[in-house]
Structure 1
Amino acid sequence: MNIAEAPQVLESRTRDRVLQAISEHGPVTAAALAEDLGLTSPAVRRHLENLVEARLIVDRELPPGHRGRGRPAKAFVLSEAGHQALESDYDHLATQALRFLAQESGEGAVRRFAEARVGELEQRYAAELAATGPQTAARVGVLVGALTRDGFAASARPVGEPSTGGPLTGIQLCQGHCPVQHAAREFPAFCDAETDAFSRLLGVHVQRLATLAHGDHVCTTFVPTPTSDTPAGDTPPKEGPTR
């Protein structure tokens, strides 16, 4: 590496780290990014400004309950261009292949392919989750780790009681990146197959609330869990699961 080029290379790598962190944790504030990445606030703000200018991220004003004192805080999420920047060219090739498969053999063939593909992931994850035990929250934690390992930038957080006022709480499972987002936009069978696999792996009926393929900034799945199953130290907020 040319010594004169080193600062630019390091700057580019740091920008990529910021973009990846927003993919994994968005909506996320500049302060949270600085803490998570071990960067100074001015450095994070500089990268955020560059990413906004490049139209790879967009900012959103946090709701009142999530702000500190002073002016309204902004949180950042990936834009459509940002998601595409993290996508592989193989995703576009896969979409072309799926169109050909649908034309030659019908939509049912695409659905069976999606189920087979997700089935391979499910089979690999099943042993890990089985070793975790029956507690839903613990199984979600293992699933998050497995999904992140496979490039889905997953995370989870507890959410509060549903509007019914019953004792049921839940966990919101999020995926900040989808390796097949472009294909899933045209072929929702991939999202459906994944949701069904989550239900089987976790042993509860999960509900898909949002998807990257439909234009949301993150894939969100609600996993119901009894109050006693909520991870220790986590206090669910009052509101129910939202998109």
Structure 2
Amino acid sequence: MHGFANPARFLRIARWLMPLCIGLGLAVAALALGWGLFFAPAEKLQGETVRIMYLHVPSAWLGMAGWMAIAGASFAELVWRHPLAAIAARASAVPGAVFTAVCLLTGSLWGRPAWGTWWVWDGRLTSMLVLLFLYFGWMALAQASESAEGGQSKAPAIFGLVGAVNIPIIHYSVIWWNAQHQPPSITAGKSAIAGAFLWPLLLATLGLTLVFAGCVLARMRALLAEQQAQARLRRRALAEVEAF
């Protein structure tokens, strides 16, 4: 991991890896979503509405994965003082929040015909909504910390680790409580989903995960460029003051 601590080395890798992830991810996701929307069969009980699954389930996974990326980067920042950890956390926040919002939106669209209502205060739905609010809070805290302390505050990293407590709550909410949301259909080593539905779902998850990774790399490159530009401006301002 420390091999990527050098920003120049990271940028050399990200320069070709970012477009590869986004391009390949969009192609795979388009293929999977087209397969799921137009060629996969309708479900016996839910009918055509089951097709929302091909976007809803990957979005839920990536919403949680985004916060786990923040938590992992926060741990690396606090323990190892990795120079790119804070940037990785900031880069993961917006894509993670977007996928969390998509998960909630598609879940609401799916819940209306399935449950007869757009929203229920179910354990799974409520904990996902909490995750979205955690993203908003983390991004506001990171922005405020950077403005007030030049990006040196550890508060966002601590918040990132504490907020990770919500991830197992999301995962186990349908087991711990009498939830209206269905239990997990895919667990370690087995699946309750028929192959006609499972394969396009897995393919969509892979494609959107690659898109997520590409977006994180793109944002890291942009944040590093912004830092470098600010550093040049500070050096120029200091040189002008010394010359004066």
TM-score by length of 1: 0.27
- Which one has the largest radius of gyration? 2
Q: Which has the higher strand share?
A: 1
Q: Which has the higher helix share?
A: 2
TM-score by length of 2: 0.27
